[in-house]
Structure 1
Amino acid sequence: MLDYIWIDGDLPILSQLSNDFNSAAVLFHPFIQMPSGWEKSKRENPYQHIYPSDEEMLKLGEPVSWKEVMGKCNLKSYKELSIALQHLTGVPSDEYKKLASYVKSNPDFYYPEEVNTSLFILNSLVKILCSKGANTLYFSEPIHDTNGSFKVNDMSSIEIANLSPNESIITDEKMDFAFMGIYDSFITLLLAKDTNIEDTIKSLNLEAFICDKETYLYSII
């Protein structure tokens, strides 16, 4: 069983991992584009908070990459877009104002999932964890100190995504890979024993930042 790894944002990510893992990648949770008119069809009053359910997102939604949003909002880096997302509450930043202006003009466009791994990338991550023959995955959730295991074929992606409302880490039987959500960050961290994680990322077309020995979390988000 692998316990959740608390990452200090001011220290290199790779230096904080256990000896089991030699590489890491920051995966960006996609934004959500719903069909034109979807928001209007759901709205019952002007003050209603509307956000697609897991089922609606999978059935009707389309993922939108951070790079595409950066281009539309004139934001120059993942860091700037992350700053914009971090200011969804509190004092608006200049980065947030650019993002908010775009979102306001596109009523069927929604922010990414903050904590739990996005459903748009979850199936790809499960494929990675099972790529060396694993059939059982293990999870650990630190806030309530809960952990357990499940057979991959017995769980839907929505059920896996909702194993915990907080941060959690999921790994395979041999701990060849693991992925973990980081609270209020809009990202998932993928860990691997293999030193070359980039080929794995590219094969599944995931938007990611590959960590080197100098990469620390706050340099990206």
Structure 2
Amino acid sequence: MTRTSIQGEEVVTMTITGQDTDAIRALRALEDGRSSVRLRAALAVGTAPDPRFVGTLVERCAIEPEFFVRDMLTWALTRHPVATTLPRLIREVGSERSQARSQALHTLSKIGDRQAWPVITRALLADADDEVARSAWRAAVVLVPDGEEPALAAALATQLGRGGRETQLSLSRALVALGEVIAPPVRAATAAPEPHVRAHALATQRLLRDPDAGFGYAIEEAKRAVALGGSGQGDDGAC
């Protein structure tokens, strides 16, 4: 930064350094039509973090079509000060664009700062978009404060039976990550009137008992148990 005087008034002039020029070039490259160029640009911005560029990174997350580039953008954001990234990401969770919400939640889960917990609402956990909901589930289990786990488990259990296999696997993993506090709401879901809800709840129970069990096997076994009219819980009835 240099200072000059014009007719007695001091004027502050910003001097653009070589590092600034490189960063500006990288930000422009984030809009390149080639995904490999955008990937390198995100890596460059994260390697030399600058709070001035957080807004651009967040905005790019909302429209970037390639998963691996979005993941690098998330990494770049985690390299910046939390005080700068957190407010911007929290605002983005309220965006009308589903990808913006999903990616902001994903980034919040990677940052892991519990100041973001209030943004994880019941409405967000039940978002109509599966990708947003999955990101919200993952973020919730990372950000949940001590003592709030049972309430979170109850909220997540309301989503049992939702979506296809990948969505159901994401929910089961989120529930299992909470541990034994999920037992009451998941056990209650095994008595739900909907067969797909009961099957998903039973598969989640089995994953909690045996985390090494494959979800595919667990869900197929649970579906067979439901089809036969049994609880699938064995003699112990425990989750």
TM class, shorter-chain normalised? under 0.3
Question: Please, what TM-score do these two structures have when normalized by structure 2?
Answer: 0.25
- Structure with greater strand share of residues: 1
Higher-RCO chain (CA-CA 8 Å, sequence separation at least 6): 1
Question: Please, what TM-score do these two structures have when normalized by structure 1?
Answer: 0.26
- Structure with greater helix share of residues: 2
